[in-house]
Structure 1
C-alpha cells in the first residue's frame, strides 16, 4: 500500500511543478546546468505529424507534414502549434478538402 501512495504523490508533485513552471526542453549547451533531474524527464521529443481526414484514425491518414515540435502540457506532451499544423495539413493535401486534423503518432 505504501508504494502506490508514494507513486501517486510523486506524480502529483511533478504535475503541479510542470504546471507552475514554464518549461522549455534543455538544449545541448544547457543540459549540464540543469539542477533538477525531473525537469529532464519533462522534455518532449519532436514527432511526425500525420494529417487525418474526418478524424478517422488510422484509415483516414492522407499523409504527413514532417516532424514538428512538442511541448509539455500536463499530463503529456502535445503539439506546440496544433492549429497551425492543422492549417498546414489542409493546405498541403487537396484530398483533405478542408476536413483534416493534425494528429501526433498516438491520437489521444
Structure 2
C-alpha cells in the first residue's frame, strides 16, 4: 500500500525541535541541528491564513515526508502549523504524535 495522505496540526513554536526529532524517527531520517536552524529561519514571513508556507522534505530510510510549515496568523511567532504529506501507513502514528505533543508543555530534542 503506497497511498499518500496529508496530515496537519498546530504546535507551540518552542516544540519545533522535538516535533522534528519525532518525525525524523518515524521516517528513519538523520536530522541535525543545522537543518532545524534552516527550518526556523525559513519560517520567517510565513502565515498559514495567507497561504505563505515554507517546505522541507525528509528523505528517510523508510519513508519520505514532505513537510510544510507556517506561523499561525493569530498566534504569530508563538504557534506553528505543520502539514505532512507521506505514506498512509503513518497516519495513526502521526495522530498519536499530535496527541502526545499536546500533552506536554515542552518537547526537547535529545542530543
Q: TM-score, normalised by structure 1?
A: 0.28
The structure where strand makes up a greater share of residues is 2
Q: Which structure has the bigger radius of gyration?
A: 1
Q: TM-score, normalised by structure 2?
A: 0.28
